[in-house]
């Protein structure tokens, strides 16, 4: 679902009416997916509005900051096509499986990687990647877990995105810098498109 898409923007939307403009701005910059977080009241309506606006465009909208089984239900009902969690939660994994929707849970330790593998998942978000040690952490985890592919998130920026993306253990990079909350609130689509294009150039996707 997200493999080969290069960058997964993490977006925080305060007004669902901004969602169609946001995804259009990201797409205009070459980005082909977005994780719309459920950390605001507008998150669910934003997922629905974004999904409705996209038609059959090759752009995948998913839900982020999904913390409970009920969140998964609401996200899928709104049209989310993938689920991202900051951590590894059994209820979220089970509910995602019951909806047959791809889930990328967050991990921060080898123990959590093992739990995810036991649940049948090998594409995992490393969060918060920068604080955990960045690429050296990914390389260290790749020793015992060569089959795992990571989505580093948290502290990924234009300064390090290319290096992360070049790792054979990374399937995409994730971050908010293309579409930070203030630019979305301001409706600054031109700036978001420019940042998106620059970001896609960086990761060579």
Residues assigned a catalytic role: 35, 125
Binding ligand 3PG (rule: CB under 6 A), the pick from 176, 178, 179, 193 is 176
**Shortest reach from residue 174's CB to ligand 3PG, in Å:** 6
The alpha-helical segments, DSSP class H, found in 18-174 are 19-28, 43-54, 69-78, 90-99, 110-118, 129-132, 135-142, 161-166
How far apart are alpha carbons 67 and 84 in whole angstroms?
Answer: 9
Query: Are 105 and 87 contacting, i.e. CB atoms less than 8 angstroms apart?
Result: yes
The closest residue (CB) to ligand 3PG is: 175
Q: 176 or 193, CB closer to ligand 3PG? A: 176
* Contacts made by residues 108-115, CB under 8 angstroms, sequence distance 24+: 108/132, 110/141, 110/144, 110/145, 112/87, 112/88, 113/141, 113/145, 113/148, 115/88
Residue with tokens 């998106």: 196
**Shortest reach from residue 98's CB to ligand 3PG, in Å:** 25
- The answer to whether 155 contacts ligand 3PG (rule: CB under 6 A) is yes
| Contact track, ligand 3PG, 7-36, x by CB under 6 A | ---x--------------------------
**Shortest reach from residue 153's CB to ligand 3PG, in Å:** 4
| Contact track, ligand 3PG, 60-79, x by CB under 6 A | --------------------
Where does this chain touch ligand 3PG (CB under 6 A) — which range of 26-34, 41-49, 113-121, 173-181? Answer: 173-181
Binding ligand 3PG (rule: CB under 6 A), the pick from 81, 175, 199, 202 is 175
- The β-bridge partners of 8 are 174
Helices (H) and strands (E) in the chain, counts: 10, 9
- The answer to whether 151 contacts ligand 3PG (rule: CB under 6 A) is no
How far apart are alpha carbons 167 and 163 in whole angstroms?
Answer: 7
Query: Would you tell me which residues interact with ligand 3PG (CB under 6 A)?
Result: 10, 127, 153-156, 175-177
């Amino acid at each position: 679902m997200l493999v080969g898409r290069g960058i997964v923007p993490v977006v925080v939307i305060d007004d669902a009416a901004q969602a169609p403009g946001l995804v259009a701005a990201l797409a205009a910059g070459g980005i082909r997916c977005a994780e719309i977080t459920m950390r605001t009241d507008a998150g669910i309506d934003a997922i629905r509005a974004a999904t409705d606006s996209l038609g059959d465009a090759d752009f995948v909208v998913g839900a982020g900051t999904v913390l409970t089984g009920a969140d998964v239900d609401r996200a899928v009902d709104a049209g989310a096509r993938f689920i991202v969690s900051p951590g590894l939660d059994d209820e979220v994994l089970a509910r995602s499986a019951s909806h047959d929707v791809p889930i990328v849970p967050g991990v921060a330790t080898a123990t959590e990687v093992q739990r995810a593998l036991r649940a049948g998942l090998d594409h995992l978000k490393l969060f918060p990647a920068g604080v955990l040690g960045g690429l050296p952490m990914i390389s260290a985890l790749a020793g015992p877990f060569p089959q795992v592919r990571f989505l580093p998130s948290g502290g990924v920026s234009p300064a390090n995105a290319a290096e992360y993306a070049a790792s054979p253990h990374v399937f995409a990079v994730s971050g908010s810098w293309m579409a930070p909350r203030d630019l979305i609130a301001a409706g600054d689509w031109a700036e978001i498109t420019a940042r998106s294009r620059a970001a896609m150039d960086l990761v060579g996707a």
